Structures are given as structure tokens and as C-alpha cells.
Amino acid sequence: MSRGRFITIEGGEGTAKSTHAKLLCDALRAQGLAVVCTREPGGSPGAEEIRRLLVSGEPDRWDAMTEALLFCAARRDHLVKTVQPALARGEWVVSDRFADSTAAYQGFAQGLGQDVVERLHEMVAGGCVPDLTVILDVPVDVGLARANERGGGRYERMGARFHQRLREGYLDIARREPGRCVVIDARADPDTVHAAVVAVVRERLGEYLLS
């Protein structure tokens, strides 16, 4: 049995990552593929418990290092319990967020630094790297307006400067890893953005699709 493919959907608040991760899962299943649709933080029972610590409470509840360690603990459980077993079974995995979120949020936006984040990721995930990462991008004011419409949470309350650094972090990741990352303008309507996501998957991973 061949290894499955691992796709991650990334981006700041209000970029509709969760929506497009689910739409992509549906599109891949329509191809006859076995697909695990998951998320971070979360995606396994232990990681979902840690998620509640991260997404609730006041913006300054944790410092950057504590947050990164909590995310890494959740990621390790997610990898061991969900992602790696699915890939070993030959299934495709689509995750709403993965390690790039820690790099962008804690590494860039909260100033922890990329060296620290990379060392943590190596300890937690080793050589587990997505086959493709789709970064959904919108201007900060657009993303925050969307996020606040659905009811802003802890990260939405961190302010425009934080979110501008976050956006810059994601774009920097994409510039440094063009072989893995593709940036998609997510300002358009959902159907248009979904079509762009599917087109990227076909371009990058089409040889693995069934049709």
C-alpha cells in the first residue's frame, strides 16, 4: 500500500480555512479517495482537550513559549493518533492548520523566533512535512471583519498589529518554501476560492489522483 498524501490549509483569522478544508475533503472523496479531514489544535481526543486551553480566555493568557509548547503537545498527539496512521493506510489527510501556524503565530507574530519553532517541530514531528500547503490570504481588515462577524475569539482580540505580523509571517513562509506552499487570494466568493484550491491540488498532486 502506498503512502497517502498530506495537505494542510493555512492562513490568518477570517480566511475561511475550515470551510475550504471541508470543501477540499468533499472534492477528494468525490474522486473515490479515502480522506481524513482534521484540524489543529485538535484532531484527536487529547489534542481537542488542549485546544480548549488555547482558544479560550484572555489574549495574554499564555506567553509565546507556553503557547508553542501547548500547540506542540497537541500536534504530537494529533500526529501519533490521527495523521500518521491515516497516511500509513494510504489515506489522504487534509488538516485545517499544522506546523506553519506555530511558525506564523508564535514564531513571527509573537516574536518567539523561527529557530525555536523549527527545533520544537523537529522534536515533535521529525520528518513529517505536508506534501502541499495552501495558504489562504486576505488583508488584515477583511479577515478581522469576517472573524468578528462569526464571533471573535481569543486570537481575534489580539489587535491589528499582531494580525499584520501574522500575515507577513505566512507570506514569508510561502516565499521560503515555494515547492510546498501556494498562496491563494481568499477575498473572492467561496466557489471561486474553492476552484482555485482544487486547481492547485490538481497541479501539484494530480499524479496521485484517481481521475
Distances 89 to 6, 61, 149 between C-alpha atoms, Å: 12, 39, 39
**Predicted confidence (pLDDT) at residue 152 exceeds the cutoff of 60:** yes
**9-47: pLDDT as tens digits:** 999 999 999 999 999 999 999 999 999 999 999 999 999
206 Cβ contact partners less than 8 Å away, ≥ 6 residues apart: none
pLDDT tens sequence across 60-83: 899 999 999 999 999 999 999 999
Q: 3-class DSSP state for residue 41? A: coil
**pTM assigned to the model:** 0.94
Domains and CATH numbers, the chain: 6-206 (3.40.50.300)
Going across the sheet that includes 132-137, the strands are 35-39, 92-96, 6-11, 132-137, 181-185
What is the radius of gyration, based on Cα positions, of the chain? 16
